[in-house]
Structure 1
Amino acid sequence: MIAEFTERVEKAEIAAGVLLRPLAAVDAEALCSAYVENRKHLEPWEPVRPEYFFTVEGQKERLGGLLRQFAEGAAVPLVMESADGRIVGAITLSGVSLGPFCSAQVGYWTAADQQKRGLAQAALHAVCRMARDTVRLHRIEASTLIENIGSQRVLEKCGFESIGLAPSYLHINGEWRDCRLFQRILHDRPPVM
């Protein structure tokens, strides 16, 4: 089933002039530019990144790992691409697990100049549909820093419910941070084995 999922992930228009599509090896330069342009915007919400991360070579290495996980059915990395070919966000299903768990985690970001357009919400809706209909995941989990109200609103608008608080859950921006955990139950069919 995972192999079928990775083969069926296709482009989808999620907003005027913005496509959600699978990450590709040729995206290293565009992704590097996106991370460099949005470094300060993303810094409060991400782990401390080494300088190498903000280079084309660093992104090539990172993409190689993500694409291997994609081929193995363990992750689904997608990017949001504007009409001019600029990457304006990303969303990734990771830790895909079938069997009795049938679950994955989701993480996403949008560029500073693309905020308040509903891109994260549209991308998350699309990913939930793919995860439910193609992979047949039972649930998707997400976490946000306690103060990331914007991301919590996106999750709630996409049908995620808060399931608790996780103290010192993630090492973000140089320190262990408390997070609010969310989940969305996608269906109640028997699990994919």
Structure 2
Amino acid sequence: MRLLRPSDAAALAAAYVRNRDYLSAWEPMRPEEYFTEEWQAADIAKRLAALQAGDQYPLALIAGDAIVGRFNVAGVVRGPFQSAGLGYWVDKNYAGSGLASAAVRMIVEKARTELGLHRLEAGTLLHNIGSQRVLLKAGFQKFGTAPNYLQIAGTWQDHNLYQVILHD
């Protein structure tokens, strides 16, 4: 796992095309141009600008030359909150292999030691048991349920909310 790079646009577009059907149940509806190298290049540029501002940390999970997962620590709030949200997905061919669990554990440690955060939050669809297991293995605890939290697959859907406290 490493920071996303401008040169990742083609590999990221290929990953989204490869996983389009698989991810459609877990993500917002995407416009057709989302699956192009050009759209991904522009998005990577925005994310890297946000990285420079300290607002997010966009990460890619790599296997050989392919991107097989995306993890993003986003919405970083400093001051007394010292918190951020975590979003992620793993390629359909790697789901259930333990890669997401290992990556989230690494991100939790990085958030604690390098980013100096106090808390990470993540949400899952109520029926996304796999993602819930990933979060629980990394020390997250469920702290609530948010009705109609995000528009996923074209429908406003409830989410379980999880957090991990990184410092006592």
Question: What's the TM-score once normalised by structure 2's chain length?
Answer: 0.98
1:172-191 superposed matches below 5 A = 172-188=152-168
Among candidates 65, 76, 98, match of residue 85 of structure 1: 65
SS of residue in 2 equivalent to 1:135: coil
Q: CA–CA distance in 1 between the matches of 2:11 and 2:115?
A: 29
Offset of residue 33 of structure 1: 0.2
Structure 1 segments unaligned to the other structure (5+ residues): 1-19, 189-193
SS of residue in 2 equivalent to 1:28: helix
Please, what is the CA RMSD of the aligned residues? Answer: 0.6
Q: CA–CA distance in 2 between the matches of 1:71 and 1:39?
A: 29
Counterpart of 1:59 in structure 2 is 40
Matched, 1:115 2:95: yes
Counterpart of 2:113 in structure 1 is 133
Offset of residue 80 of structure 1: 0.4
Matched, 1:49 2:23: no
Q: CA–CA distance in 2 between the matches of 1:172 and 1:115?
A: 19
Q: CA–CA distance in 2 between the matches of 1:49 and 1:149?
A: 23
Q: CA–CA distance in 2 between the matches of 1:151 and 1:116?
A: 10
SS of residue in 2 equivalent to 1:183: strand
SS of residue in 1 equivalent to 2:151: strand
Among candidates 136, 141, 148, match of residue 168 of structure 1: 148
Q: Can you list the C-alpha shifts for 1:53-100, whole angstroms capped at 9, x where unaligned?
A: 000111011111111111110000000000x21100011000011111
Among candidates 127, 137, 141, match of residue 157 of structure 1: 137
Question: What's the TM-score once normalised by structure 1's chain length?
Answer: 0.86
Tell me how many residue pairs correspond in the alignment.
Answer: 168
Counterpart of 1:14 in structure 2 is none
Q: CA–CA distance in 2 between the matches of 1:26 and 1:108?
A: 20
Q: CA–CA distance in 1 between the matches of 2:31 and 2:48?
A: 21
Q: CA–CA distance in 1 between the matches of 2:36 and 2:70?
A: 17
SS of residue in 1 equivalent to 2:25: helix
Offset of residue 135 of structure 1: 1.6
Matched, 1:40 2:39: no
Counterpart of 2:3 in structure 1 is 22
Q: Can you list the C-alpha shifts for 1:20-77, whole angstroms capped at 9, x where unaligned?
A: 0100000000000000000001000000000000001110111111111111100000
Among candidates 109, 127, 152, match of residue 147 of structure 1: 127
Q: Which residue identity lines up with residue 112 of structure 2 in the other structure? A: R
**Retained in 1: the 8 A contact 2:96–2:130?**
no
Structure 2 segments unaligned to the other structure (5+ residues): none
